[in-house]
Amino acid sequence: MSYHNPVLLNECIEGLNIEPSGTYVDLTFGGGGHSRAILEKLGPDGRLFGFDQDPDAQANIPDDPRFTLIPQNFAFLERFLRFYNAIPCDGILADLGVSSHQFDEVERGFSIRGDADLDMRMNPTSGKTAADILADYEEADLANVLYRYGEIRASRAIARAIVARREEEPIKRVSDLLNVISKWTPKFKGHKFQAQVFQALRIEVNGELDVLKEMLASTPKALRPGGRLVIMSYHSLEDRMVKQFIREGVFEGEAERDMYGNRFVPFEPVVRKAIVANESEVEENSRARSARLRIAERTEYNPK
């Protein structure tokens, strides 16, 4: 089994509009599928930097002097590119979410397909686990996590049930949590509901939306005018944030305008609508069904 099967790989690489002597960044290195495809397009003077906080990814480092792996969260994009004298770069790629490898490694606790400790940390050496959150969060905070990140309508009732159950015994394993939410799990599409609950906890464990926001905010400083930003997301919370930032240059409201109505934005969309996978790719890789790819080009405008 491969570490990770990249979705919309050709579209991602084409979106970067790679120059052979350019400097590029793969923010979600993982199994190295995107990075290897980028390296094939680069000449001897090209450079590629990969980010991945998961120690498992280090086993996939290509034997190529043009490649440098930065074993850090991509929230630190600007800091490390400055350290490596790689600003401005020519293209940034991010394939968000959890890799196939992380789902398949049952002991990581990401998947509902097997029983394991409720961990869900993308960096398994730091931070709170999902079990910690279920044990420590107040009922209202748990309900907020489930509703905001999982769009769970019964979030308050489930949070109440979690608090009641943990008073009797800890909720430490996948099977424990599935048992708690079983009352609200529909007979049909039950896996989808369970996956939404797990998604909510995973986003909270890893601070995924906060990290995405921090990364996006740093991309105008990291990219040269004309450079490309290529972002693929797998749920609406991420995609809405990416779409809003590309369109307006801010995360809330609209872009600043001058007296003539001209908008001050750091990016211009290359494609107006998100690119989605075709049916043949979805048949080969079910994860492709929810993928949304957005591509933008850096403008001359420099935000304050």
Q: Which residues are annotated as a binding site for S-adenosyl-L-methionine?
A: 32-34, 52, 74, 95, 102
Q: Which amino acid is at 50?
A: G
Q: Find the length of the chain.
A: 304
Q: Which residue spans within 34-162 are E strands per DSSP? A: 47-51, 67-70, 89-95
| Cis bond before residue 88 (omega within 30° of 0) | yes
d(CA 175, CA 173): 5
With beta carbons less than 8 A apart as the criterion, state whether 24 and 42 touch.
yes
- Where does the chain have alpha helices with state H? 9-16, 33-41, 77-83, 100-104, 130-136, 139-150, 155-168, 174-180, 190-206, 208-222, 236-248, 279-284
Max CA distance (Å), the chain: 64
* Single-letter residue type at 273: K
Q: What are the two backbone dihedrals, phi and then psi, of residue 153, each rounded to the nearest 5 degrees?
A: -70, -35
Q: Give the Cα separation of 193 and 200 in Å (integer).
A: 11
Angle between helices 33-41 and 9-16 (to 10 degrees): 40
Q: Binding site: what residues are annotated?
A: 32-34, 52, 74, 95, 102
In DSSP notation, 127-167 reads S--HHHHHHHS-HHHHHHHHHHHH--TTHHHHHHHHHHHHH
